[in-house]
Amino acid sequence: MPELSERDAACISTLRSAVMRLSRRLKNQRVEESLSPTEMSVLATLARCGSATPGELARREHVQPPSMTRIVAMLEEKQLVRREPHPEDRRQVVVSSTEQAEAILDQSRAKRDAWLADLASGLTEEEWAVLRAAAPVLERLAQL
């Protein structure tokens, strides 16, 4: 960990704690109770990044390939993904989301956005200004 001033270390600690609590609360705003958070994450990755091999999905989701194979199989059984032959390497498959999965993700995003907007409606204009400035920075941290 880099050397931080006492003030910056306190900021990091507050940020970690707040992000974790907010994340837990957002995860509770679910549309489809039959899907695990991991399954929802895989569907979101497919929506964000497009079709991928199970190995690519495993790397993006930071899980072992055999675990991803099981997750994909469960999602396929629920008709939320489909496997198709890889266009260049017939030994592999490419996984893509179905329209049903995309509808679930859209509903989930809408529910979570509404919940968060309701929560944020109590902010002052000054707090909104800080939030607007912080959102791109938080997005950048999430991408690193």
Model pLDDT for residues 40-55, shown as the tens digit of each residue: 999 999 999 999 999 9
Question: What is the residue extent of each domain of the chain?
Answer: 31-143
Tell me the backbone φ, ψ of residue 133, rounded to 5 degrees.
-75, -35
- CA 74 – CA 32 distance, rounded (Å): 15
Would you state the pLDDT for residue 4?
Answer: 86
Would you state the pLDDT for residue 93?
Answer: 92
16: how many CB neighbours lie within 10 A of its CB?
Answer: 10
CB 109 within 8 A of CB 103: no
Q: How confident is the model at residue 71 (pLDDT cuts 50, 70, 90)?
A: very high
CB 104 within 8 A of CB 31: yes
pLDDT tens track for 110-140: 999 999 999 999 999 999 999 999 999 999 9
- CA 79 – CA 96 distance, rounded (Å): 11
Residue with tokens 């930071």: 62
Query: Residue 97 pairs with which residues in a beta bridge?
Result: 81
Residue with tokens 């495993």: 58
Asked: is 31-143 a CATH 1.10.357.10 domain? The reply is no
Nearest by Cα to 36 from 79, 77, 74? 74
Residue 104 has pLDDT above 90, yes or no: yes
* Cα-only R_g, the chain: 19
- Rounded to the nearest angstrom, the gap between the alpha carbon of residue 36 and the centroid of all alpha carbons in its chain is 12
Q: How many CA atoms lie within 13 A of 132 on its CB side?
A: 7
Q: How confident is the model at residue 1 (pLDDT cuts 50, 70, 90)?
A: low
